[in-house]
Chains A and B, each alone.
Chain A
Amino acid sequence: MVEFDRSAFISKFQEEATDLLQRLNEGIINLEADPVNRPIIDQWLRDAHTLKGSSRMVGLMEISDIAHRMEDIMVKVREGMIPYTADMSDTFFEALDTVVFLTENAGKDAASEADLEGVTGRLVAMANSDVLAPEPGAALEAEVAAAEAAAEAAALEEEAEDAEGDEHDDEGQDGAASGPKRAQREETLKSKTQATVRIRTSQVDRLLNLVSEVVISQIKAEQRARDLRSVSGMGADVHNLWGRIKTMLGMLPADEQGAFLDDIRLLDDLFGDQRRALVALAKEYADDMSRTSTVVADLQEHAMELRMLPVSTVFTTFPRAMRDLAKQYKKDVELIIEGGDTELDKKVLEEINDPLIHIMRNAVDHGIEPEADRVAAGKPAKGTIKLVARQEGDRIVIEISDDGAGIDPDRVRSAAVRKGYITESEAKSLSDREASYLIFEKGFSTAAIITELSGRGVGMDVVREFVVERLKGSLDVDSVLGQGSTFRLTIPLTLAIIRALLLRVSGQTFALPTSSIEETLRVEPSEVIKVEGREVIRRQMRTIPLVHLRDILGLDSVSAPENKIPIATLGFSGHRLGLIVDEFVGEQQIVIKTLGSHLKRVDNVAGVTILGAGEVVPILNVPDLMANGRQMTGMRSRRAGSTVKEQEGGPRRVLICEDSFTTRELERSIFEAAGYIVETATDGAQGLAKLREGLSPDAVVTDVQMPNMTGFELTRAIKADDMLSSIPVIIVTSLERDEEKAEGINAGADAYITKSVFNQDTLLDTVERLIS
């Protein structure tokens, strides 16, 4: 098994925990003043829950345990089962301090030094104390204690703030020194040095915004310098002309000259001075400009670098993730990482983690064969997955390759036909490479049960769309049957700048990202073939449907068509589409900006850019164009998923069985936000009763551990009931051992989502997929 750098993983947790702990401490202080303030309690519960989940994921079970117990108490407070009292604050503060201590000493065997038993004991006692009025005399005491606790918390906050600056050298310098005692903590406070400054990304973004404005102004100023030079050139022409007139005037009889001789001399001097001044000004201005442009170029480069981080900041967590994946799928896999020092924009880096994990999970699950198969095929028993990052010009390429079975194009073909994505004859006409692209189709999956959203083919479409839409990049796959597959992610160095083709439609300029353009052509009208009322062209033995960009965008037809028709062909998800435009303007680098705070999402438009002249130009959104264009050409294949469902109309209904109030309400809000009607039950028995009373939801989402009837029992009951068995059951739980997962699947669950990977999209996507 590979070694992994746990400290890098943990430092991420420490960073998050610092914020959470600060908020939890503040929450307690606020609660003391206002013990029944529901929003404060809710926020506090959310933070505690996050702390529980995060600590659990890095393996700090002691912290997870404390957070869990604190959560228990606070849930009871919220539900009015126990009142919030001042002495609770003490216990909470003590517990939080212990968490701080454990967090700072994460990765070391520090658990024994903290009074864990004492803390958990007090928390348990508090959770079990049913309605217990404060003793008459205790009030004052509690107040004093609370004041002390507040002071303690203030000191804590101070440190939390300070620790933000240099989270990297935390463990090394003072890990052991800063115990829960305040005096010691203050001492370490002094020894810390400020090596870095933490700045909010929004501040950096604002700075970058202004820098790009400076760049635009600079481009304009350079244009002015050129204009000035041409004006000074005109001055030279005027001077030459004047010279000839002066000579001619000199040839006039002297008595006719006399009247304006002085004026001529004066004008001559003025012309000379003006010309010299103009030439000098133009030259000085040009010099100044070239100096500023160097500075501005540097400024832009350094400003962009502010956001650049090595990919290793994300990659370091992968060995651990890979180990877990290998264990989960019972495979022996080695992960090789290369090019960790390649730098990438922070925003891109944040977004890249999930798609990469997704692809690696896919590689472990589908790519790497079981050991026996590998040995039989003459491969080493241990599989290898290689993760390589490198820079190629203004893009970063990340390859994830495995030495597994590869994608079988025939299996993909037959699966695609079976699921109705393509017809038998279409399947035959697809090349192997095109067939393997089908795995990127929406909802394409070859597996019978979803264990988690990721993997199992589900989600490769999501990954790809994410990469294209969010990261403005592309995702491709190369596969050799029997030898392995390589997924190649190509993404721009920064999200802020892309290359784009500027084009004109109906008198308006648009930018089309070049990453999705296959080619730009000018075809003779005679080359456009009409088939069944659609327009297509043939390119390299392929038929490409055509659509007018102005029709997709709903613009008026303005100009008469040129002799040759300009067409940009797009390639996305293995599909091609030719966009007919009025005119190509040219290709250039553009700075991406959003449409502003008011326009959150506009169909077909990904953002805008500001051209040198200050002109604002919309940037087209390729996935939208493809989807809308294909719909217009009628080439869109039958698709499972949301589009079909929306047409059917009527809100969908989901039953949530969950004993934890927090989780239940969280799930409720997720589903309600997505337009579902939500029914809830606090345990399996209640849920089953509701189902038998005739509530017929489109799906049941259930926890496992519940009083009266567990989620497994509920699932078995539903699946055994003829009336109910068709309702999809999704188990959401913190149990993630394989045996438990197997029990869930044996019970007949349609999907199994573990809370550690739980997020809004996972849940919704899974449910929507099962409903459709």
Chain B
Amino acid sequence: MTEAGPTHRFHADEDRAILRRRAESLAQAGEEAIAIETVGLLLFRLGEEWYAVPIERVREIYNEYAVTRVPRVPDFVLGVVNVRGEIVSVTDIATLMRVPSRTEIDLSDEKPPAIIVANDTCSSAIVVDEIGDIVDVPKGSVEPPLSTLDKSQIEYIAGSVFIEGRLIGIVNLEKALEPVGENT
């Protein structure tokens, strides 16, 4: 690093040529990367709004389940389910993110679909109103979350993306899957 200075002075022309070549190749690589780099999203509906989770965070979609309620947990935790011997929490993501225009969840009757999502440390089944398509969107088209969202909501949204005229919020799973009751 320290001898970079003198080298430049002696071989300025050669260096410039090398730098130019490198810049060109980097630019090319960049274009290719943009063309390839997409992000897969699983869309789902909460009330009248559409949201998405990155597909690589989705473990499975769960329709048949029996929720066991757990006493004295935050209101967004509906209980736990048994997924082939593994106990997984059930999260009412709409309540957690304070999504308006949302009807109460009734687990006793016909159950709403659930998506089991996982980050590095924890997994949970999030209950949604309807499961939509899986779409691939270019990474570049993901915009920061709407500035009109209020503070309590914005931390649960990692970004937003326009698909077929609909603005879709991408859920920030790192925040949504924060362990419950760790510091109490």
Contacts and interface: CB of A to CB of B under 8 A. Distances in A.
Contact of B73 (A213, A594, A599): A599
A598 B71 contact: no
A605 B71 CA distance: 8
B67 to A, nearest CB: 8
B161 to A, nearest CB: 26
B72 A554 contact: yes
B179 A600 contact: yes
A598 B66 contact: no
A507 to B, nearest CB: 10
A601 B181 contact: yes
B52 interface: no
A527 B13 CA distance: 102
B182 A616 contact: no
A598 B70 contact: no
B104 to A, nearest CB: 16
Interface stretch (A185-193, A385-393, A607-615): A607-615
A423 B118 CA distance: 53
Given A614-B82, A616-B87, A598 B124 contact: yes
Nearest to B81: A616
A553 to B, nearest CB: 4
B123 A597 contact: yes
A595 B90 CA distance: 11
Nearest to B83: A596
A488 B179 CA distance: 36
Contacts of A605: 70-72
B68 A599 contact: no
B86 A599 contact: no
A601 B89 CA distance: 12
A596 B121 CA distance: 11
B1 to A, nearest CB: 11
A598 B72 contact: no
A555 interface: yes
Contact of A594 (B77, B87, B182): B87
Interface string B146-184: 000000000000000000000000000000010111101
Interface in A172-230: 209-210, 212-213, 216
A615 B85 contact: no
Contacts of A50: none
A597 B117 CA distance: 12
A598 B124 CA distance: 6
Contacts of A540: none
A710 interface: no
Contact of A600 (B82, B85, B123, B182): B182
Contacts of B180: 598-602
Contacts of B69: 508
A616 B80 contact: yes
A81 to B, nearest CB: 19
Interface-centre pick from A209, A213, A593, A597 (highest chain B CB count, 10 A): A597
Contacts of B70: 595, 599, 602, 605, 618
A603 B71 CA distance: 8
Contacts of B80: 595-596, 599, 608, 616
A608 B67 CA distance: 12
A603 B73 CA distance: 8
Given A508-B69, A605-B70, A598 B82 contact: no
Given A595-B89, A596-B86, A601 B182 contact: yes
B105 interface: no
Contacts of B121: 597
A551 to B, nearest CB: 11
23 contacts: A213-B84, A213-B85, A216-B85, A508-B69, A554-B72, A596-B123, A597-B122, A597-B179, A598-B122, A598-B123, A598-B177, A600-B181, A601-B182, A602-B71, A602-B72, A603-B72, A603-B184, A604-B72, A608-B68, A608-B80, A608-B87, A614-B82, A615-B66
The 6 closest A-B pairs by CB, nearest first: A597-B122, A213-B85, A553-B71, A601-B181, A598-B89, A616-B68
Interface of B: 66, 68-73, 77, 80-82, 84-89, 91, 121-124, 177, 179-182, 184
Interface of A: 209-210, 212-213, 216, 508, 553-555, 593-605, 608, 610, 614-618
Given A599-B179, A603-B184, 14 more contacts: A213-B85, A553-B71, A554-B72, A596-B80, A598-B88, A598-B91, A598-B180, A599-B73, A599-B80, A600-B180, A600-B182, A601-B184, A605-B72, A616-B82
